[in-house]
């Protein structure tokens, strides 16, 4: 039998997906990590030692470099249990004949739900209210409705569109910036506009763009200064889309009303760790630890999408087109 060994370096990998891989002839190994450790913190040498001899890798946030791929000649397919791929050297994967996949469509619902939760929580000041109640202060703080507000969505991919669907129920005016043309009927009742207009007019801004050289720090000090003083910034996409240092300054100055954050610059740049620590302590910030996709149902869906891509490559086929971000076999 050809090499069908698969290493999973993600927590919460469900039994049904493991059975699927084994039923398709795969030998599955689950990497074990100490509490608080994840594959994103592993060194090059650690990854080489873990992955030596494996043909498939279901990965989380590890950096997949050219050097790593060269050191792992048996590795055929890298399948992300997620949709971002900014930590993967796609050019190297193509050059070296590897396949890189994402779990497209697996976590759209979970992240969209989480985004709505952050909007409601920060708008209604849940954290501030509960903190006061714990201290014995049961006075009422007035919040802001999501209902009939203006919401700006930056990026109309799968998650952005899922968010727009949910906002229909709140009778929101929805503004959006999209890097691609949307097919007719895909996003009804959404006004496509430019980023300046969206920033100035939105009560809630939710960022759902990919992280690229062009989008890095798209919400910098200048952009945040264009927001309404009563508005909220939500980021469940990638930390580098928002300059967290500029966001911290704006929140402390009262330039905007609050923020809901699931991702942080410090995830990729340790020099921002003090900024993250200060942000999550602010009373008008609702923060979660890059957990938007981490529901039981969402993880099961993304696990299976990632696994199906691995099996497709092992079988000599092609994974779903929306899942493939690099295919060096076509070079």
pLDDT (tens digit, 9 = 90+) per residue, 205-241? 999 998 999 999 999 999 999 999 999 999 999 999 9
Mark whether 238 is an active-site residue: yes
- At 266-289, the pLDDT tens digits run 998 999 999 999 999 999 999 999
Is the pLDDT confidence value at 31 over 70?
A: yes
Q: Is 61 a catalytic residue?
A: no
Catalytic residue among 238, 245, 301, 308: 238
CB under 8 Å, gap of 24 or more: what pairs does 37-42 form?
38/11, 39/9, 39/10, 40/87, 40/267, 42/9
Cross-strand pairs, 80: 59
- What are phi and psi for residue 151, nearest 5 degrees? -115, 130
pLDDT tens by residue, 8-24? 999 899 999 999 999 99
What tens digit of pLDDT does each residue of 32-47 get?
A: 988 878 898 899 999 9
Note the pLDDT tens digit of each residue in 63-73. 999 999 999 99
Does 86 have pLDDT greater than 60? yes
Is 290 part of the annotated catalytic residue set?
yes
User: Quick one: DSSP state of residue 154?
Assistant: E
What integer pLDDT is reported at residue 1 of this predicted model?
47
Encode pLDDT of 150-159 as tens digits: 999 999 999 9
Tell which residue, 206, 283, 277, has the closest CA to residue 251: 283
Q: How would you label 292-327 residue by residue, b for 16+ Cβ within 10 Å and e otherwise?
A: bbbbeebbbbbbbbbbbbbbbbbeeeebeeebbbbb
Mean pLDDT of 319-326: 94
pLDDT of residue 37: 84
pLDDT for 83 equals 86
Q: Would you say residue 184 has pLDDT above 70?
A: no
Domains and CATH numbers, the chain: 5-106+295-330 (3.40.50.720), 108-287 (3.40.50.720)
Q: What is the mean pLDDT of the chain?
A: 94
């Amino acid at each position: 039998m050809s090499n069908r060994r698969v290493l999973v370096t993600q927590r919460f990998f469900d039994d049904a997906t493991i059975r699927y891989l084994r039923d398709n002839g795969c030998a599955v190994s689950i990497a074990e990590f100490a509490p608080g450790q994840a594959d994103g913190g592993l060194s090059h040498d650690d990854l080489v030692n873990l992955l030596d001899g494996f043909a498939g890798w279901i990965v989380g946030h590890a950096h997949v470099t050219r050097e790593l791929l060269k050191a792992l000649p048996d590795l055929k397919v890298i399948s992300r249990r997620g949709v971002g791929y900014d930590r993967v050297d796609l050019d190297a994967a193509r050059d070296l004949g590897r396949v890189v996949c994402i779990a497209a469509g697996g976590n759209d619902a979970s992240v969209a739900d989480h985004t709505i939760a952050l909007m409601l929580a920060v708008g209604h000041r849940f954290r501030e209210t509960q903190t006061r109640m714990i201290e014995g202060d049961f006075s009422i703080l007035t919040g802001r409705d999501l209902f009939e507000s203006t919401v700006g969505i930056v990026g109309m991919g799968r998650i952005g569109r899922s968010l727009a669907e949910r906002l229909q129920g709140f009778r929101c005016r929805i503004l959006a910036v999209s890097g691609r043309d949307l097919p007719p009927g895909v996003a009804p009742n959404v006004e496509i506009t430019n980023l300046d207009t969206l920033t100035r007019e939105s009560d809630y801004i939710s960022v759902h763009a990919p992280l690229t050289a062009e989008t890095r720090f798209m919400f910098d000090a200048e952009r945040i200064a264009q927001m309404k003083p009563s508005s909220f910034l939500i980021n469940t996409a990638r930390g580098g889309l928002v300059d967290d240092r500029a966001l911290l300054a704006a929140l402390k100055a009262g330039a905007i009303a609050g923020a809901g954050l699931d991702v942080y610059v410090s995830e990729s740049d340790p020099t921002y760790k003090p900024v993250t620590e200060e942000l999550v302590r602010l009373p008008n910030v609702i923060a979660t630890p890059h957990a938007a996709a981490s529901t039981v149902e969402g993880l099961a869906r993304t696990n299976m999408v990632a696994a199906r891509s691995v099996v497709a490559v092992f079988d000599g086929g092609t994974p779903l087109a929306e899942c493939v971000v690099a295919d060096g076999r076509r070079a």
